[in-house]
Structure 1
Amino acid sequence: MRQSSINRLKQGDVLGRTIYANDGRVLLGRGIALTSSYIQRLRELGITIVYVDDEETKDIVVEDIISEEHRREAMSYLELSGQAIQVGKDFDGFKVKKAVKNIIEDIFSQKDIFISLTDMRSYDNQVFAHSVSVCVLATVLGKALGLDQNNLEALAIGALFHDIGTVKLPKELLRKREAFTIKEADLFETHTSLGFDILRSKRELSLISAHIAFQHHERLNGSGYPRKLEGDGIHHLALIVGISDFYDNLVNDGPGHTRILPHDACEILMGCSDKLFPHDLVVTFLKHIAAYPTGCTVKLNTGEIGIIVDQNKSLPMRPIVRVLQAGKDLNQVKAREYDLVKKRTTFIESILE
């Protein structure tokens, strides 16, 4: 299985991972041969990245940190909660706690966690998919930091609902991918206060989770919002969600922005150390992130093109690459792999999309 940009898809490519709607319905199932109309529909939905299976990469396994069932369950509960909030009704906080418990159990069932999967997001499920991914990232970081069970649950719920205030914002604002105007940015920033007001009324949820939604855009140097808090004035769990949200927004399209590549996002995040986020938090976070995700196509400094087939967790910038070609024809397969930890003069020049 390999990653492919929507722009590189061609008729006959076989889908390697199922694409779901935000309510859990299957949009396109794994194993389906893509037609030109399917590809066009994916483009209309706003999906920019998919996974495909082919002979050269059928043995490459790209595993999620949590089960597909639990990811879909969390997205479904988020959507139902959002629908209830939009019409002024209450939502079931106990179902949310159940979904979060499943995510935490999935994460704690794994010893060494390294995040390499890229989400396949549409315009309609972007907010919910983003929220679940931020929940996963924050919980992985919380586990690495040794948080106790109560703090971990409050963290995961706050992460899952960190953007819940956006359900009260105009849909056209959330679908916009170009930079916001000043007026649009001011409106979007209200989602933190809206989220706090929604969550603090839920007695079955920790008040800390509400403060996470309120503070997840605050930054160490006081440049964040809504209150421009600094340093110790920001709750430490909000900083964990903040860095998770920041990274996920870098590597995925979202309201007011388009994505960049993971290795560039890792460099940006390191540059934010001790400015936007504490240095130790940045270092711990990056230990669990694949700079070059498994399944992506890369160009090496040798001129060769290959697929990332595995990771060196001790050195994330030096993965294992299967060379597919020397030229531009992806059908000229070469049966050799480079472990970039051992092959020190070879390095990745770029990710090809």
Structure 2
Amino acid sequence: MRQVSVNSLKVGDMMGRTIYSGQGRVLLERGVLLTLPYIARLRELGISIIYIDDEETRDIIIEDVVSEEHRREAIMSFEQSSEAVRLGKDFSGFEVKKAINNVVEDILYQKEIFLSLVDMRSFDNQMFSHAVSVCVLATVLGKALGLNRENLEALAIGALLHDIGTVKQPKQLIHKRVPLTSQETSLYQTHTVNGFEILKAKRELSLLSAHVALQHHERMNGSGYPRQLIGERIHHLAQIVGIADFYDNLVNGAPGHQKMLPHEACEIVMGSAGTLFPQDLVVMFLKHVAAYPTGCTVKLNTGEIGIVVDQNKSLPMRPIIRVLAGDDTLTAFVKAREYNLVENHTTFIESILV
């Protein structure tokens, strides 16, 4: 399985992973052979990258730390909760806890976790996918930091619902990917306090989850909002969700800025150590995130084109590459050979091809 740009898809390519809508419905199922109408629909939905299965990369397994069923349940839980808030109705905190419990169980079951799966996001499911992705990232980090089960669940719920305060904001603001005006920035920043008020009222949810929503945009150096808290005045769980949210917004875009490639986002997260986030938190986070996700296509300094087939967890910037072609086209597969970039010291990745 490998990542392919939607613009590079061909008729007959086989879907490698299922794509879901914001309501958790199946948009396109794994194993489906793509037709021209399907490809056109993917473009209409705003999906830029999908996974496909082909003979050359079928042995590349990209495992999710959360099952497809439990990820879909979490998406549906967030969608139902946010829709209720939008309509001024109550939502079931117990249903949220049920969905989150399954996510936490999946993550606790894993021995060594290294996140290498890229979301296939559409215009429709962007907000929901972001919520679940931040939930997974934060829970993985919380587990690595040794949080107990109670705090891990409070963290995961706060992470899933961290942006619940944006629900009543204009959609054009939430989807804007160019710099916001000062008025738009002020409006957007109200989502932290609004989210706190919404979650604080849910007696079945931990107050810690509400504080995650309130503080996830606070930064160590006081540059965050809404209260410009400094250092240890920011709750530890909020810092965990803050770095997960920061990273996911970098790789998938957020109000005010475009998305970037994972290795670029990792460099920015690395540069935030000691200023925006505690250094030990940044180091631990980067130990669990692939700078070059498995299945992505890369160009090496040798001029060769290859696919990332596996990771070196001790050195995430130096994965294992299977060379497929000698040019940029990927049209002519050659006899595969692999470079372990930990062992091949003079070979490095020049760029990700999308």
TM-score of the two chains, using structure 2 as the length reference: 0.97
Higher deviation after alignment, 81-90 or 108-117:
81-90
Distance between the aligned counterparts of 1:232 and 1:61, measured in 2? 40
| Deviation, structure 1 residue 6 | 2.0
- Aligned pair in 2 of structure 1 residues 38, 19: CA closer, same or farther (>3 Å)? same
Higher deviation after alignment, 124-133 or 304-313:
124-133
Which residue of structure 1 lines up, in the alignment, with residue 205 of structure 2? 205
- Aligned pair in 2 of structure 1 residues 171, 139: CA closer, same or farther (>3 Å)? same
Distance between the aligned counterparts of 1:145 and 1:327, measured in 2? 43
C-alpha deviations, 1:137-163, integer Å up to 9, x for none?
A: 111111111111111111111101000
- Aligned pair in 2 of structure 1 residues 255, 13: CA closer, same or farther (>3 Å)? farther
Distance between the aligned counterparts of 1:270 and 1:107, measured in 2? 24
Distance between the aligned counterparts of 2:147 and 2:44, measured in 1? 42
Give ranges in structure 1 of 5+ residues lacking alignment: none
| Deviation, structure 1 residue 209 | 0.6
Which residue of structure 2 lines up, in the alignment, with residue 77 of structure 1? 77
C-alpha deviations, 1:278-311, integer Å up to 9, x for none?
A: 0000000000011100000000000000000000
Which residue of structure 2 lines up, in the alignment, with residue 121 of structure 1? 121
Which residue of structure 2 lines up, in the alignment, with residue 335 of structure 1? 336
SS in 1 for 2:322: strand
Which residue of structure 2 lines up, in the alignment, with residue 282 of structure 1? 282
C-alpha deviations, 1:317-346, integer Å up to 9, x for none?
A: 111100001123422322211111111111
Q: Is the 8 A contact 1:24 1:72 kept in 2?
A: yes
Matches within 5 A, 1:197-346: 197-330=197-330, 331-346=332-347
| Deviation, structure 1 residue 181 | 2.0
TM-score of the two chains, using structure 1 as the length reference: 0.98
Matches within 5 A, 1:3-14: 3-14=3-14
SS in 1 for 2:167: helix
| Deviation, structure 1 residue 35 | 2.4
| Deviation, structure 1 residue 37 | 2.5
Q: Is the 8 A contact 1:126 1:254 kept in 2?
A: no
Distance between the aligned counterparts of 1:328 and 1:281, measured in 2? 37
Q: Is the 8 A contact 1:298 1:348 kept in 2?
A: yes
| Deviation, structure 1 residue 240 | 0.4
SS in 2 for 1:168: coil
Distance between the aligned counterparts of 2:31 and 2:255, measured in 1? 31
Which amino acid in 1 is paired with 2:34? L
| Deviation, structure 1 residue 55 | 1.5
SS in 2 for 1:165: helix
Matches within 5 A, 1:27-106: 27-106=27-106
Which amino acid in 1 is paired with 2:56? E
Higher deviation after alignment, 333-342 or 91-100:
333-342
How many pairs does the alignment contain? 353
Give ranges in structure 2 of 5+ residues lacking alignment: none
Which amino acid in 2 is paired with 1:59? D
- Aligned pair in 2 of structure 1 residues 256, 40: CA closer, same or farther (>3 Å)? farther
Which amino acid in 2 is paired with 1:310? D
Distance between the aligned counterparts of 1:229 and 1:156, measured in 2? 22
Give me the identity figure in percent. 69
Distance between the aligned counterparts of 1:346 and 1:154, measured in 2? 44
Backbone CA RMSD of aligned residues = 1.1
Distance between the aligned counterparts of 1:235 and 1:221, measured in 2? 14
Which amino acid in 2 is paired with 1:28? L
| Deviation, structure 1 residue 177 | 2.3
C-alpha deviations, 1:190-216, integer Å up to 9, x for none?
A: 111110110000000011110110000
Distance between the aligned counterparts of 1:11 and 1:185, measured in 2? 43
Which amino acid in 2 is paired with 1:210? A
SS in 2 for 1:322: strand
Distance between the aligned counterparts of 2:237 and 2:243, measured in 1? 10
